[in-house]
Amino acid sequence: MAVPEQARRLLTIAADLLPVEVVDSRQVRKVRRSVLAGIIALVVVLTGWYGYAVYQTSVARVALSDAQAEVQRLQNKQGDYDPVIQAQSESAAIRTQLAGLLAADLPWSQLVKPALDAAPNGVAVTEVTGALADPSKKTGTVQLPNTSGHNLVGQVTVRGTAPDKAVVARYVDALARVRGLANPYVTSAAPHEGAIDFTVQFDITAEVLGGRFTTEKN
C-alpha cells in the first residue's frame, strides 16, 4: 500500500519554552549594560574636557605671570629714564616761557638782509634804520593806508643811491615783496653828483615778529 506524499513530509515545529521571567531578565541586563556603557563614555568625555580646561587654565596663568613680570621689568627700566623725561619737560617749559617773552621780538637780520639782497645792479644802500612802535605812545605822524592785511608794528627806512629814478622804482617794487615790509613810501629822490639819492620808508608787519623759540606763522 503506497503512503501519500504529504504523509512522508516532516513538519518543523519551533517553540520558545523559556519562562517569560528569564526573557525579561535578559532584556533588562542588556539595557543596563547599554546604559552603563553610555555613562562610562560620558564620564570619559567629561574627564577629558576637564583635563583640557585645566591645561588651558594653567597655560593662561603662566602667560599672565610672564606678562606681569614683563610689565614690572619695563616699569623698573622706565625709572632709569626719569632724569631724561624730567629734563625734556623742563626744556619744554623754558621754551614756552621764551616764546611768550619773545613773541614781540624782531629778528632784524631776517629783515635787513633780504632788503639788501633785493637791491638791483647800480643801487648802493647806504643806511637801513628801523624801530618798533611803542603802543603806549601816540605820534602825530600821518599813517598811510595799510594794504598788507597784517598788523603794523614799526617802520624801517632805507637810504641809498641809484643811477636814475627808474632803478629806484624797481628797487622799491622789490622791497615791497620782502616778507615783513609793506606800504612803501618814497620820501625823497633827488639828483646828486650824477646819481639819485633816495629815501624810502616801509611799515613793518607783525608777520616777522618772534624769535627762534616762537612758532612760525604762515
One digit per residue, the tens of pLDDT, for the chain of length 218 reads: 555 555 555 556 655 566 677 667 778 888 888 888 888 888 888 888 888 888 888 888 888 888 888 888 887 777 777 777 777 776 766 665 545 444 456 677 778 888 888 899 989 999 988 887 765 555 545 456 666 677 888 888 999 999 999 999 999 999 888 888 888 888 999 998 889 999 999 888 877 776 544 454 44
pTM here is 0.46
- Helix (H) or strand (E) segment spanning residue 136: none
184 and 201 Cβ atoms separated by less than 8 Å = yes
Domain ranges of the chain: 19-101, 109-136+147-208
If one looks up domain 109-136+147-208 in CATH, what number appears? 3.30.70.2830
212 is written with which cell numbers?
A: 627762534
φ/ψ of residue 185, rounded to 5: -145, 115
Place of cell 639788501: 116
Could you report how far apart the first and last alpha carbons of the chain are, in Å? 141
